[in-house]
Amino acid sequence: MKKFTFAFSCLLLSVFANAQSTTPQATTGTATAATADISKVLDIKEAVHNFGKIPYGKPAEFDVVIKNVSSDSIRIDNVKAGCGCTTPKWQPGPYAPGETFKVTMGFNGYTEGPFEKLVDIIFSNGMSKQVKFFGEGYKVAENPAPANGAVQKMKNSGK
């Protein structure tokens, strides 16, 4: 009886493991096909943006300009940011063939050091585009060096 229970458990485990490995592959294949076709429907400018160096806490934003190059109208269903520091601004549409529209990506700047953020733009036809922006936040010194006039006064007073 113990051998039967062990064999049955192994069989169930292998079935569950196989089911877990085949589902993502099918999904990935579908997503890849949809992503490959997006260039036939939309012309997306600046899907990767470098903010460079920005002061800590200083908000920054940039526009992702999108043109509908298809023969059908299109809508934006959703824009998903990876964290609360990213605030996309967008209108759902619809956007007619040939129409240009934008999604504004805002970043609050509360990051010290290098950062990289991802935002997914999801369209009505089941297609999506991932936008990436990155940069480096730096902190400004709290007590900057005194102005030259203050240094000169200190020298004249003998300090």
What is d(CA 121, CA 101) in angstroms, rounded to the nearest whole number? 13
Token code pair at residue 106: 């805002």
Per the CB < 8 A criterion, the answer to whether 47 and 79 are in contact is no
**Position 107 in a domain:** yes
| Burial status of residue 40 (CB atoms within 10 A of its CB: 0-12, 13-18, 19 or more) | exposed
Query: Domain count of the chain?
Result: 1
Q: What is the reported pLDDT for 33?
A: 44
Per the CB < 8 A criterion, the answer to whether 109 and 133 are in contact is no
- Whether the CA torsion 22, 23, 26, 29 is positive or negative: it is negative
User: What is the span of the domain harbouring residue 89?
Assistant: 40-138
Q: What CATH number does residue 73 fall under?
A: 2.60.40.10
**Position 83 in a domain:** yes
**Position 32 in a domain:** no
Q: What is the pLDDT along the chain (159 residues), one digit of tens a residue?
A: 666 566 666 554 455 555 443 333 343 444 444 444 898 999 999 999 999 999 999 999 999 999 999 999 999 999 999 889 999 999 999 999 999 999 999 999 999 999 999 999 999 988 999 999 999 999 987 766 666 655 556 666 655
**pTM (2 decimals)?**
0.66
**Position 129 in a domain:** yes
